Amino acid sequence: MSYEQLLEKIQNFQANICVVGLGQVGLPTALTFAKQGYKVYGYDIDKSLINSLSQKQPSFEEEGIQELLSKTIDNGKFEPNNSLSYCVNKSDTIIICVATPTTLDVQPNLSFLKKASKSLGELDLQEKLVIIESSIPPRTFKDFVLPIITQNTTLGKNFWAAYVPERLSPGQAFSEIQETPRIIGNEDEQSGNLAKSLYQNIVNSKILLTNSKIAELSKLVENTYRDVNIAFANEISLICEKYGIDFAELVKVCNSHPRVNLHMAGPGVGGPCLPKDPYLLLNPIEGEKIESKIITESRKINDFMPLHVSKLVTNALESQGKSLDDTTILILGTAYKGNVSDTRFSPSKQIIQVLQQKQCRVLVYDPLTIETFGAEKIDNLDITIIENCDALVVVADHNQFKNIDLNILQSMKKKPIIVDTKRIFNPKDIEKLGIIYISVGYVENSNLSTNMGNS
Ligand code: SAJ
């Protein structure tokens, strides 16, 4: 098949697609292409995942995923399969969405990408287009992936490839795949054109073409930008605690300026992307580690926040004359953020551990996850549970938590405390119930505040 024939197949939804890696990026991507009319083969090394997807059971929470999975399996547009060669041989385009985490010493761990590229390199990739969506350190596409997958082909002649970083925010995956502008990083013009035609058929927004190194860097810079901005918000919230003013009110006022956009302070930064992408940015695949004070300090500030939250909780309990070993604390949320079932790098892990070290009894409630981080799991917010709680700590802003009947909170133990790190409640409503309301950047009196680094 020539370049022109492949282009036409892609434009007319006739090109088959194989998605490698069916996690929180790969699966929504596969289902979106299937929804638009492409035939999509889904491959993952996890056989049990392929089994459950074949039985129409998604492995994580995402709005609309269940319906779309069932629909596209029923109409034959999505076919999960545990043979990579089967999926690749049936396809004209292969999209790699494997995880690129960091090791414990925060070095890029490209082992999944290496394995996927190696397995692909052993198959016949002639006349196919390969796309990488995983977040990767600059030059990985050109110097690491391309040499492995072009062993029997020539880029731009009988094979095409591009780097197209995913940009979806878990929890809004389907709308973001369609509405967020996409970046295409390519090393040859034909690959850029093919990738653009493919994404044009699912994206209702701009598609920008650039070289692969800039595309790789852009992805890491975007997530680092957010991490640094959240760190700034967190630091300002600590300053607000010192002054005894409400950070949320301050944000409202500052953000009325047309060139200011303060982010929200919170319990820390979790998830599979923000806590590790700054490290991918600073650790090139070859050469020395890059120094950046602002990026490294921001990571430290965000990593400190769970500790700060536990200190807010224990300070508040002690200020009410309670002995920590005689208190029960209910944590709302083990997910790393609202409305997702992902618990990777969740701030609640450290909050729970610290509170347990301080001898508090810790319960957790999260209707979207099975993770407890060693706390006692409860299955509902029954009054018999609430009446034993001294403090309630909101760590994930799930919609279910926002809709809690506040009257039930009145049954908490004497001198009750709510630490609402995600600002899901109106402080006045809580205080009206006789409950002490605390948040990051909102302490009743500044004595409850903690010092960065001394907790
Ligand atoms: N958070 C705050 N304050 C804020 C915003 C977020 O404390 O103002 C916290 C959240 O609670 C969470 C963490 O930050 O713990 C990350 O949440 P997020 O919603 O900012 O980001 P992710 O990790 O779910 O998704 C990000 C997105 N990147 C950007 O917005 C630049 C998404 O678009 C990327 O596709 C995704 O990373 C990814 O996969 O790389």
Average pLDDT rounded to a whole number, residues 121-149: 95
Q: Is the sign of the CA dihedral 413, 419, 424, 425 positive or negative? A: positive
Instruction: Return the structure tokens found at 258.
Output: 């047309």
Percent of the chain with pLDDT strictly greater than 90: 93
Percent of the chain with pLDDT strictly greater than 70: 97
How far is it, in rounded angstroms, from Cα 46 to Cα 53?
A: 11
Is the CB of residue 21 below 6 angstroms from any atom belonging to ligand 1?
no
| CA 169 to ligand 1 center in whole angstroms | 7
Is the CB of residue 170 below 6 angstroms from any atom belonging to ligand 1?
yes
| CA 210 to ligand 1 center in whole angstroms | 24
* Res. 110: pLDDT tops 60: yes
pTM for the full model? 0.94
Q: Is the sign of the CA dihedral 323, 325, 330, 335 positive or negative? A: positive
| CA 337 to ligand 1 center in whole angstroms | 8
Average pLDDT rounded to a whole number, residues 97-112: 91
Mean of per-residue pLDDT scores for the chain: 95
Query: What is the per-residue pLDDT across 227-265, written as a single tens digit (0 to 9) for each?
Result: 999 999 999 999 999 999 999 999 999 999 999 999 999
DSSP per position, 194-222: HHHHHHHTT-SS-EEEE-HHHHHHHHHHH
Q: Phi, psi at residue 19, to the nearest 5°?
A: -105, 125
DSSP per position, 250-297: HHHHHTTSTT-------S---SSSTTTHHHHHHS-SSSPPPP-HHHHH
Say which residues have a Cβ less than 8 Å from residue 426's Cβ, sequence separation at least 6.
none
CA-proximal residue: ligand 1, atom 38 (nearest)? 273
Let me know: does 441 contact 265? Beta carbons within 8 Å. yes
Say which residues have a Cβ less than 8 Å from residue 171's Cβ, sequence separation at least 6.
62, 63, 337, 338, 339, 340
Mutate to test the pocket of ligand 1, among 102, 169, 205, 349 (most ligand atoms within 8 A of CB): 169
**Confidence (pLDDT) at 277:** 95
Average pLDDT rounded to a whole number, residues 67-95: 98
Residue 450: which pLDDT band, with cuts at 50, 70 and 90?
low
CA angle centred on 79, ends 76 and 80, rounded to 5°: 155
**Confidence (pLDDT) at 104:** 86
Is the CB of residue 222 below 6 angstroms from any atom belonging to ligand 1?
yes
Mutate to test the pocket of ligand 1, among 180, 269, 281 (most ligand atoms within 8 A of CB): 269
**Confidence (pLDDT) at 447:** 47
**Confidence (pLDDT) at 287:** 82
**Confidence (pLDDT) at 332:** 98
Is the CB of residue 40 below 6 angstroms from any atom belonging to ligand 1?
no
**Confidence (pLDDT) at 286:** 83
Is the CB of residue 269 below 6 angstroms from any atom belonging to ligand 1?
yes
Query: What is the per-residue pLDDT across 264-316, written as a single tens digit (0 to 9) for each?
Result: 999 999 999 999 999 999 998 888 899 999 999 999 999 999 999 999 999 99
**Confidence (pLDDT) at 1:** 86
CA-based end-to-end distance of the chain? 64
Is the CB of residue 169 below 6 angstroms from any atom belonging to ligand 1?
yes
Instruction: Give a three-class secondary structure readout of 165-179.
Output: CCCCCCCCHHHHHHH
* Res. 444: pLDDT tops 80: no
Average pLDDT rounded to a whole number, residues 403-421: 94
Query: What is the per-residue pLDDT across 9-36, written as a single tens digit (0 to 9) for each?
Result: 999 999 999 999 999 999 999 999 999 9
Average pLDDT rounded to a whole number, residues 170-188: 96
Is the CB of residue 80 below 6 angstroms from any atom belonging to ligand 1?
no
CB atoms within 10 A of CB 42: 29
Would you name the residues annotated as active-site residues?
219, 273
* Res. 452: pLDDT tops 80: no
Nearest ligand 1 atom, CA 226: 31
* Res. 77: pLDDT tops 60: yes
Let me know: does 263 contact 226? Beta carbons within 8 Å. yes
Query: What is the per-residue pLDDT across 357-394, written as a single tens digit (0 to 9) for each?
Result: 999 999 999 999 999 999 999 999 999 999 999 999 99
* Res. 446: pLDDT tops 50: no
* Res. 451: pLDDT tops 60: no
Lowest mean pLDDT among 41-50, 226-235, 405-414: 405-414
CA-proximal residue: ligand 1, atom 3 (nearest)? 264
| CA 433 to ligand 1 center in whole angstroms | 33
CA-proximal residue: ligand 1, atom 39 (nearest)? 273
Within 13 Å of residue 93, how many CA atoms lie on the same side as its CB?
Answer: 31
